[in-house]
Amino acid sequence: MKYRVIKNKENKTIDVFTEDGGFVEIYHNETNYISNMHSMRLTDVDKSDYPMLWEKLAEGNNWSKEWADSDTEDEMIAHALHWLVMPTPDKWEHDNKLFDKILKKAY
């Protein structure tokens, strides 16, 4: 299963995407990191709505998890991947170009 991670150190965000369109947003709220797991997938969003991608994804159900200061980025990313894809695939393949066309319009 292919996945992509986009980190923005300035904004303290980590976005995790899977090839089936799954998306988890991890951000720092000035106290600790929070993972927002989205039920709506990138592949569910109409092409005409790509410029408003984040708003469209927020329209679906979302679940949150707070992280302790001792938790690492790798732990948060692993949790996101596990939540997005069950059962866990035998192999993960990191792909920095996954959803490039969609994300260029959204970032």
pLDDT tens per residue across span 62-91: 999 999 989 999 999 999 999 999 898 999
H/E stretch holding 75 reads helix 73-84
Mean pLDDT of 26-30: 94
Number of residues written out for the chain: 107
The ranges assigned to domains in the chain are: 2-106
pTM as predicted: 0.89
Going by pLDDT thresholds of 50, 70 and 90, the confidence category of residue 2 is very high
d(CA 17, CA 82): 12
- Cα 17 to chain centroid distance, Å, stands at 5
pLDDT in tens, 35-54: 999 999 988 888 888 888 88
Ramachandran category for residue 37: left, alpha or beta (phi over 0 → left; psi -120 to 50 → alpha): beta
